Structure 1
Amino acid sequence: MKILSYIYLLIIRFRNFLYNSNIIKPYRSKSYVISIGNIIAGGTGKTPIIFYLAQFLQSKNYSVGIIAGGYRRKSKGLLIVHDVDKLLTNVEKAGDEAYLLAKKLSCPLLIHNKKYLALKEMDRLFDNDIILVDDGFQHRKIYRNLDIVIVNEKTIEEEFLIPAGYLREEIKNLARADVLLYRDTNRRVEIVNNKDNFNFLTNIKIENLVENNAIVVTAIANPSIFVKFLQDKNAIIEKVFSFKDHHFFSKIEIDEIIEYCISNKIEFIYTTEKDYVKLESYNQNFSDFNIALITIELEILFDNDSMFKNYIEFKLNEKNTTN
């Protein structure tokens, strides 16, 4: 596996050399582009940060568009998930994260596995002040005005690149980022310690918790973290049905979950927002047996929320003054 990781490393180094040397030129959008990414495979909290940023920017009267890859979607090529007014597709065609963002934010959202092609189409169809690129750090075909990278404990501790480890590229390449957002950790990546950085925590909103025994149904990268959040809030978890990240639930799996609930007199199921958009089509199946889906919303808590927002506004104003 380490040999394969070394081959992968050489490919990534050569690819980065082509961009760093300006041999390959990135596509430059007419809009201000903010990339939100990471350098490790698995969940680091990109989707909640994108939602947080988009909501903040919309509150400042910026028109926002979003570009995503539509990971694990059941469609190919370019797809307009949401235009200015409405959703134009379903969760299976869009993928869970892209669909969730489009549904919550009601802004233009386009997906393509080659994100720069989605960005070109976004520029052609819409007039956005700002475009957010989901998982954009490795997508160097796009020029970005602000490069945000999320770092967690796993990023700091990992030594090896894919497939021996989880790193998507060398840790030193964080030097390309403009700002690092450290999630749920006070540790720092020493090699890039001079970077602008902010700390944030992830938490769950507790207003939906019930006193009864419940189960968890989820298909996210780190289900144990979600379960621990619930248990820390004194939720009583009878069982966890955990599936691979981005998994689409089948009717057979739903029937098995319902059967367990009936046998164990469970009336409540906790699930994430990302999972709910895939479970809501089975709402009637659950309600037929008096089983309620309880959607738990994840919230982002910066150590200094106003300072981070001021930083974003400063960067936007900095761009405006240089034009």
Structure 2
Amino acid sequence: MRLLYVLLFLQLSLIVVAIPSDRANLFNGKKTTEPEPLKKNEQPYPKAKVQKSEDHKNAGTPSADAKSAGEITEQPVRSPQPTDTDQKERKLLSSQTDEGGIIFSDDVRQCILNEHNMYRRRIAKGEVPHMPAATIMNELMWSDKIAEKAREWANKCEMAHTPQGYYCGLDGYDNIGENLATRTTSADGLNSDEKLKDAFKWALNSWFDEYKNYKFITRTCSKVCGHFTQMVRDSTEKVGCGIAMCSGGVKGFRPGIPSYLIVCNYGPGNNFANQPPYETDASKACPQVRPTRKDYLCTGNGKKGPEKCEDKTNFCSTWKEQGKCKMCNNPYYQWMIGVCPKTCGIC
């Protein structure tokens, strides 16, 4: 019997927003006034904002309600060994949890990582039609911590994004990007590593294919393109994905019909509206965190933070006492780590 399948995608970047100097908008929409020291002695906050969901069809970044279809297959390329702060013993074969989430084998995890870096390398090499070449594209590494959270969310078998702030602080990042994909399948549709690989290749290919909807020069979308911009965000350092086999269906998609739900998270997400997803200036050097250029990507394990670990103002200690170095639920964080990296413990 022919299997009927439907494609559906959701994508969200969870970000702490950099704000203008005359006011601040919190993640949850609450407003707070900027402190006097910032007004009188420092440059304005950069004007970046989160794209509203109702604008996703014409926006350069994804929305919480973006829906679409389509995605990848290309030969995997060599990727560095994944690193994480806590290395865990991995299984030779993937296995399913009681909730439906699947714990990857090394082979599946490496396939997901290779596929991500293959697409990023294509962008860096200038191989994608109508897309300029990226010049400081980070090579992604795998994060077990991020992947574990992705699997936990996939276990819920619901086509919905995580609440705002859900990932803040995860693996040391103040913002995590999130891509979702779901598809109907047979009851045994994920019972082998090869089927798991195929599921992820389908999802990643669909997300990347949204480049056709993105205009780099104007930073706008003709249709949904946020999954693509998240996949090729050059400053992203790590990725972690999860998948669940939902025998009772995915809520908000096809309840009652066996389906799988894929969640891929990116740290940091940095998928800001009205900003290009990657740098195109050939004079730029690779960032400290990925200091070595190899096969068009920036790789290696360097240090985070600025080259010189020094504050740019004498107000940093005062602002830290006021809680402005706090990572989560703090509209000043992104600006503070640029102005007060030493005081805020960034370097």
Higher relative contact order (CA 8 A, sep 6+): 2
Is the structural similarity TM-score above 0.5? no
TM-score tier after normalising by the smaller chain length: under 0.3
Q: Greater share of helix residues, 1 or 2?
A: 1
Q: Greater share of strand residues, 1 or 2?
A: 1
TM-score when scaled to structure 1? 0.25
